[in-house]
């Protein structure tokens, strides 16, 4: 059991890796009433191919990770979800591009609920019948997303930046792709991506680490796992073929998204976390609410408070994005392009603003620590191996020079692409 | 709960705690929801979010919140029961986590005082340019309600269900009223809010009561006459004939089925515990009949849930589903209600939903915003149930009591949104 103290933040991080490879991360917060636990595998929607123990390459249809997540809850005689309910715990699960997580929180019966979490995730049960039923249910879920214009906007942008790529596909897949899923495939995926050394268990809240650890040991010692060697296959990206794409949709006001793809500059681990923090501040410097640029567009009614920027690194994908609702999308296009063209001039003499923004970002990081869910889920553990406390420490050390260097990487010769949703 | 009266005009509650890493200040102005004033009040909240005499625009406000270590300042409008609220909320990192910042608490209060009491005004009207901008923003917001079919269906059901215009309208007003308002009319609504609304303040964090009262005593809070107190929760008499409406919308694939049932019971009647349990069994949890039977077993809906509103006396049901399954789902929902009325539910599920309610209740202690919300609600209703008593009452609810309150459900309205073919 290793303990790391974050003195300034008054937080302790307890970690342990079991012999079978299961990684456990515990953050005790004794004044809290609840405890939150989440079991995560690094397997998400982006995985398109894999092989096990040097065998042949197996294709994974779009939507399979999410499908597996749903199916894992269904057991021979009961639904895993129901048992959480009976214990008074709130359970949930989600799949994103790069992870699948199973979680619950409760103010009572924590250990029985935790054992149930480990048991249901580690005990697969897939049959032809249950797979067929799920194909119907998820089909409806896909449709539900289709009705949401914000979702259509986001997926539209990703498809413009990365045409046909895995990231541009719905996490739930399509009605057709999920029909290719079989129980056999699900068992194979489970044996590979759900073996203990692929799983991390986060526990945050009111508990005693020693007691919890003993319960986990006890549970895992009773189980036998066969080690499986996984081979991953990286995706090759196509080049974007259109600068501007438009789709008609029944929205009351046009919704527009912009993106800048960052290629050939993979950053891994802590460097990735640091890059995200730097770009968030860089984008605040260029496009934030405190800029003349923003105020000018706001007072001319070209943007409103819905305007936002974002920066994502997801494995080899790296992109800046902008979202807005506006009739004046052409003016906004020019305004963003103008700011990018002159980023270097604009950043001159911004040292003081950088300092204020750095402090504000630290302050925002501290505010996030109120929530057990945030601590367990928003630390980029899967992508970069950092937690929320690490991110605050990284911010302490950022310099204005970091901003300038990164600005060149992102915005020199950048191509701004646009996706528009309108009537 | 210790209350202090500030300048004969506002009630203050301080919740000292070191559980969180934040400081919260929330200020609430509430009054009876009236159709004629809701839109103007919504605009007040928009204007005072982005401007004051000192911080003249969004940019200046943003700069200030950045300097306050990434503080979050926002305004909201909403309705609880029959009261319309304008709420100012402020959150920043607790000064103890920031080095050398003894002035921060005072700075935070000064900023809020400026935003609330010192608006950007000229000749008894909000600054015209800011006004026109925010008016447009609010209209945009109102128009885009239609883009979210869940939100839209909820709004339409509300219009059908309530009798009083102040209850039918969205808490952010309506488009026509907002478009017609002038800057001086909105200023009048603002002055009216300061002078005649009930004003409550909740401060949560590593602070003490004395320190906070001292600061607030300097605020220009308007002394209130002893106005007659308004019953905050809403009740209306049951409709003889349920109201129903079906709409069609293009570009959607799935339908929405929503309905409202009334339970004729006073807000703080002892049956309220049984009603909470009954709602959990009907559609309030994943163990509920609607979720287990309509969604899981019969696959008639992708999403389905019910919600009990103690503040209005209505239990509402919302389902997202395929349009061809609407009538089947509707029948199935009625069957589930019937089952509760006949006492057809097992003991195990009954106990489980009680545990889940208690779990949710205890979890509120872990969120500063929930604690603030609970405190406001206690100030508003002058009603407080201790934690121990609340848990005891939930645990004591019997199957027979659940059955009884289920029998009181009276169908009032149904709104269906279908894809246009």
Among the listed residues B119, B20, B16, B19, the one whose alpha carbon sits nearest the alpha carbon of residue B61: B119
Q: Work out the percent of chain A whose per-residue pLDDT is above 90.
A: 85
pLDDT at site A99: 97
CA-CA distance, A157 to B205, in Å (whole number)? 41
E-state strands within A152-217: 199-205
Q: Where are the alpha helices (DSSP H) in A342-387?
A: 343-347, 351-368, 372-377, 381-384
| pLDDT greater than 70 at residue A13 | yes
Q: Give, rounded to a whole angstrom, the gap between the first and last alpha carbons of chain A.
A: 58
With an 8 Å Cβ cutoff, are A356 and B66 in contact?
Answer: yes
User: Which chain B positions have a beta carbon within 8 Å of A364's beta carbon?
Assistant: 70
Q: Does domain A2-232 fall into CATH 3.30.830.10?
A: yes
For residue A208, how many other CB atoms are within 10 A of its CB?
11
Q: Work out the percent of chain B whose per-residue pLDDT is above 70.
A: 99
**Residue with tokens 């489980």, as numbered in its chain:** B352
Mean pLDDT of B188-215: 95
Average pLDDT over all residues of chain B: 94
CB contact burial A20-45 (16+ within 10 A = b; e otherwise): eebbbbbbbbeebbbbbbbbbbebbb
Out of 1.20.1290.10, 3.30.2320.50, 3.30.70.20, 3.30.830.10, select the CATH number for domain B243-419: 3.30.830.10
Sign for the pseudo-dihedral over CA of A64, A69, A70, A76: positive
**Residue with tokens 């209600």, as numbered in its chain:** B337
pLDDT tens, residue by residue, B268-286: 999 999 999 999 999 999 8
Q: What angle do CA A3, A267, A287 make, to 5 degrees?
A: 100
With an 8 Å Cβ cutoff, are B59 and A86 in contact?
Answer: no
For residue A355, how many other CB atoms are within 10 A of its CB?
11
DSSP string, A323-346: EEE-S-HHHHHHHHHHHHHTHHHH
DSSP string, B93-149: E-GGGSTT-TTHHHHHHHHHHHHHHS--EETTEE-HHHHHHHHHHHHHHHHGGGGSH
pLDDT tens, residue by residue, A61-73: 999 999 999 999 9
pLDDT tens, residue by residue, A28-43: 999 999 999 999 999 9
User: Which chain A positions have a beta carbon within 8 Å of B68's beta carbon?
Assistant: 363
When CB atoms are compared, the residue of B61, B98, B253 closest to A146 is B253
Say if B3-217 and B243-419 have the same CATH topology. Answer: yes
The three-state secondary structure class of B17 is coil
Q: Which of B47, B51, B90, B97 to probe the A interface (max A CBs under 10 A)?
A: B97
Instruction: Please list the residues that pair with A5 across neighbouring strands.
Output: A12
Question: Among all residues of chain B, which has the CA nearest to that of A326?
Answer: B140
- B262 CA: distance to closest CA in chain A (Å): 27
Rg (CA), chain A: 23
CA-CA distance, A290 to B16, in Å (whole number)? 33
CA-CA distance, B147 to B143, in Å (whole number)? 8
Helix (H) or strand (E) holding B166: helix B165-168
User: Which chain B positions have a beta carbon within 8 Å of A149's beta carbon?
Assistant: 147
| pLDDT greater than 80 at residue B225 | no
Quote the tokens at residue A30.
């004794």
| pLDDT greater than 70 at residue B226 | no
Quote the tokens at residue B261.
């049932």
Helix (H) or strand (E) holding B31: strand B22-32
**Residue with tokens 């029959």, as numbered in its chain:** B82
For residue B392, how many other CB atoms are within 10 A of its CB?
12
Question: Among all residues of chain B, which has the CA nearest to that of A369?
Answer: B21
pLDDT at site A55: 94
When CB atoms are compared, the residue of A109, A304, A357 closest to B66 is A357
Residue of A11, A69, A74, A325 marked active site: A69
With an 8 Å Cβ cutoff, are A250 and B249 in contact?
Answer: yes
Mean pLDDT of B402-419: 97
- Spacing of C-alpha A10 from chain mean position: 26
Sign for the pseudo-dihedral over CA of B29, B32, B34, B36: negative
CA distances from B274 to A103, B132, B305, B316 (A): 29, 49, 18, 16
Q: State the pairing for strand pair A11-17/A58-59.
A: unpaired
With an 8 Å Cβ cutoff, are B302 and A251 in contact?
Answer: no
With an 8 Å Cβ cutoff, are B70 and A356 in contact?
Answer: no
User: Which chain A positions have a beta carbon within 8 Å of B133's beta carbon?
Assistant: 298-299, 301
With an 8 Å Cβ cutoff, are B250 and A372 in contact?
Answer: no
| pLDDT greater than 90 at residue B167 | yes
Quote the tokens at residue A245.
């794409």
Per the annotation, the verdict on A328 as an active-site residue is: no
| pLDDT greater than 70 at residue A281 | yes
B318: which residues sit within 8 A by CB, 6+ positions away?
A: B150, B153, B154, B256, B257, B258, B303, B304, B305, B306, B307
Are the C-beta atoms of A173 and A62 separated by less than 8 Å? yes
Structure confidence at residue B119 as a pLDDT band (50, 70, 90): very high
When CB atoms are compared, the residue of A87, A109, A298 closest to B58 is A298
When CB atoms are compared, the residue of B70, B143, B146 closest to A363 is B70
Mean pLDDT of A162-180: 92
- What ipTM does this complex have? 0.91
Among the listed residues B67, B25, B91, the one whose alpha carbon sits nearest the alpha carbon of residue A367: B91
When CB atoms are compared, the residue of A88, A304, A359 closest to B358 is A88
pLDDT at site B101: 65
Going by the DSSP 8-state scheme, the letter that residue A57 receives in this structure is: -
Burial class (CB in 10 A: 0-12, 13-18, 19+), B373: middle
Between B168-172, B224-228, B285-289, B293-297, the lowest mean confidence (pLDDT) is in B224-228
Mean pLDDT of A377-391: 93
User: Which chain B positions have a beta carbon within 8 Å of A371's beta carbon?
Assistant: 367
With an 8 Å Cβ cutoff, are B22 and A367 in contact?
Answer: yes
CA-CA distance, B217 to B202, in Å (whole number)? 15
Structure confidence at residue B100 as a pLDDT band (50, 70, 90): low
- Spacing of C-alpha B359 from chain mean position: 21
CA-CA distance, B212 to B12, in Å (whole number)? 9
Q: Which of B257, B363, B370, B418 to probe the A interface (max A CBs under 10 A)?
A: B363
- A371 CA: distance to closest CA in chain B (Å): 7
Structure confidence at residue A373 as a pLDDT band (50, 70, 90): very high
Q: What angle do CA B206, B208, B210 make, to 5 degrees?
A: 160
Q: Does domain B3-217 fall into CATH 3.90.180.10?
A: no
- B241 CA: distance to closest CA in chain A (Å): 33
The three-state secondary structure class of B182 is coil
Question: Among all residues of chain A, which has the CA nearest to that of B361?
Answer: A107
**Phi, psi (deg, nearest 5) at residue A419:** -125, 130
CA-CA distance, B102 to B100, in Å (whole number)? 6
Question: Among all residues of chain B, which has the CA nearest to that of A296?
Answer: B59
Sign for the pseudo-dihedral over CA of B174, B177, B180, B185: negative
CA-CA distance, A406 to B104, in Å (whole number)? 33
- A196 CA: distance to closest CA in chain B (Å): 29
Question: Among all residues of chain A, which has the CA nearest to that of B74?
Answer: A305
Domain with CATH 3.30.830.10 in chain A: 2-232, 244-422
Average pLDDT over all residues of chain A: 94
Question: Among all residues of chain A, which has the CA nearest to that of B60?
Answer: A290
The domain made up of A244-422 has a fold known as Cytochrome Bc1 Complex; Chain A, domain 1 (3.30.830)
CA distances from B173 to A192, B32, B165, B188 (A): 54, 14, 11, 16
Domain residue limits, chain B: 3-217, 243-419
Mean pLDDT of A80-90: 89
pLDDT at site A135: 85
Instruction: Please list the residues that pair with A323 across neighbouring strands.
Output: A257, A308
When CB atoms are compared, the residue of B68, B352, B363 closest to A34 is B363
Q: Which of A8, A29, A70, A107 to probe the B interface (max B CBs under 10 A)?
A: A107
The three-state secondary structure class of B273 is helix
pLDDT at site A171: 92
**Residue with tokens 């953050």, as numbered in its chain:** A27
Among the listed residues B31, B38, B33, the one whose alpha carbon sits nearest the alpha carbon of residue B194: B31
pLDDT tens, residue by residue, B318-359: 999 999 999 999 999 999 999 999 999 999 999 999 999 999
Burial class (CB in 10 A: 0-12, 13-18, 19+), A77: exposed
With an 8 Å Cβ cutoff, are B21 and A366 in contact?
Answer: yes
């Amino acid at each position: 059991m290793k303990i790391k103290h974050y003195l300034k933040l008054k937080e302790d991080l307890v970690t342990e890796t079991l012999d079978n490879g299961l990684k456990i991360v515990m953050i005790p917060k004794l004044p809290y009433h609840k405890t939150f636990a989440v079991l995560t595998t690094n397997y998400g929607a982006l995985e398109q191919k894999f092989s096990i123990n040097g065998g042949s390459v197996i294709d994974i249809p779009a939507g399979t990770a999410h499908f597996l997540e749903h199916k894992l809850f269904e057991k021979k005689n009961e639904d895993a979800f129901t048992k959480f309910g009976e214990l008074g715990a709130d359970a949930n699960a989600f799949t994103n591009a790069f992870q699948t997580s199973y979680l619950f929180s409760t103010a009572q019966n924590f250990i029985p609920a935790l054992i149930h979490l480990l048991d249901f995730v580690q005990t697969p049960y897939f049959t032809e019948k249950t797979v067929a039923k799920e194909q119907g249910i998820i089909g409806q879920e896909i449709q539900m997303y289709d009705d949401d214009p914000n979702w259509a906007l986001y997926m539209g942008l990703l498809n413009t930046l990365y045409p046909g790529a895995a990231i541009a596909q719905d996490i739930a897949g399509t009605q057709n792709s999920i029909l290719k899923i079989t129980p056999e495939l699900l068992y194979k995926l489970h044996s590979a991506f759900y073996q203990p050394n692929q799983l991390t268990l986060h526990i945050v809240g009111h508990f005693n680490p020693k007691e919890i650890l003993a319960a986990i040991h006890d549970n895992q010692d009773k189980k036998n796992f066969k080690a499986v060697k996984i081979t991953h296959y990286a995706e090759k990206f196509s080049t974007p073929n259109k600068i501007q794409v438009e789709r008609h949709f029944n929205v009351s006001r046009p919704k527009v998204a912009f993106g800048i793809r960052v290629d050939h500059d993979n950053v891994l681990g802590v460097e990735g976390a640091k890059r995200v923090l730097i770009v968030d501040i860089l984008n605040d410097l260029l496009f934030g609410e405190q800029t003349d640029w923003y105020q000018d567009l706001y007072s001319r009614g070209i943007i409103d408070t819905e305007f936002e920027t974002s920066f994502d690194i997801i494995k080899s994908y790296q992109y800046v994005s902008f979202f807005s609702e506006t009739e004046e999308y052409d003016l906004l296009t020019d305004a963003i392009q103008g700011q990018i063209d002159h980023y270097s001039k604009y950043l001159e003499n911004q040292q003081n603003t950088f300092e204020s923004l750095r402090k504000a970002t630290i302050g925002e990081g501290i505010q996030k620590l109120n929530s057990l869910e945030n601590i367990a889920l928003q630390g980029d553990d899967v992508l970069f191996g950092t937690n929320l406390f690490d991110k605050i420490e990284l911010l302490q050390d950022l310099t204005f020079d970091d901003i300038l260097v990164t600005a060149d990487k992102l915005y020199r010769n950048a191509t701004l692409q646009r996706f528009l949703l309108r009537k | 709960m210790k209350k202090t009266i500030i300048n004969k005009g506002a009630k203050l509650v301080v919740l000292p705690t070191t559980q969180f890493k934040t400081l919260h200040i929330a200020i609430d102005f509430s009054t009876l929801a009236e159709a004629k004033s809701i839109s103007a009040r919504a605009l007040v909240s928009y204007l005072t979010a982005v401007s004051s005499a000192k911080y003249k625009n969004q940019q200046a406000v943003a700069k200030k919140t950045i300097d306050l270590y990434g503080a979050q300042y926002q305004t909201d409008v909403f309705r609880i029961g029959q009261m319309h609220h304008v709420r100012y909320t402020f959150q920043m990192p607790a000064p103890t986590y920031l080095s050398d910042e003894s002035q921060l608490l005072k700075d935070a209060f000064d900023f809020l005082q400026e935003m609330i009491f010192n608006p950007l005004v000229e000749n008894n009207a909000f600054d015209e340019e800011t006004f026109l901008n925010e008016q447009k923003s609010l209209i945009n917001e109102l128009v885009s309600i239609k883009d979210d079919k869940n939100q839209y269906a909820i709004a339409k059901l509300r219009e059908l269900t309530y009798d009083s215009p102040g209850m039918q309208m969205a808490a952010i007003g309506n488009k026509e009223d907002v478009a017609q308002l002038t800057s001086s009319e909105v200023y009048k609504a603002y002055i009216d809010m300061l002078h005649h609304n009930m004003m409550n303040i909740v401060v949560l964090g590593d602070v003490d009561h004395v320190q906070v009262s001292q600061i607030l005593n300097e605020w220009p809070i308007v002394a209130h006459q002893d106005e007659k107190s308004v019953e905050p929760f809403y009740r209306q008499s049951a409709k003889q004939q349920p109201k129903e409406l079906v709409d069609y919308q293009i570009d959607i694939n799935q339908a929405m089925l929503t309905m409202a049932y009334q339970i004729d019971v006073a807000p703080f009647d002892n049956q309220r515990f049984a009603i909470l349990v009954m709602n959990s069994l009907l559609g309030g949890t994943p163990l509920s009949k609607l979720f287990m039977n309509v969604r899981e077993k019969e696959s008639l809906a992708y999403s389905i849930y019910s919600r009990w509103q103690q503040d209005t006396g209505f239990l509402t049901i919302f389902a997202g589903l395929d349009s061809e399954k609407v009538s089947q789902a509707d029948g199935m929902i009625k069957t589930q209600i019937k089952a509760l009325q006949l006492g057809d539910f097992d003991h195990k599920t009954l106990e489980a939903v009680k545990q889940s309610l208690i779990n949710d209740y205890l979890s509120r202690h872990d969120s500063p915003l929930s604690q603030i919300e609970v405190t406001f609600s206690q100030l508003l209703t002058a009603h407080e149930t201790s934690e121990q008593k609340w848990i005891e009452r939930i645990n004591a609810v019997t199957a027979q009591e659940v059955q009884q309150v289920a029998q009181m459900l009276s169908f009032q309205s149904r709104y269906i949104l279908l894809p246009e073919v």
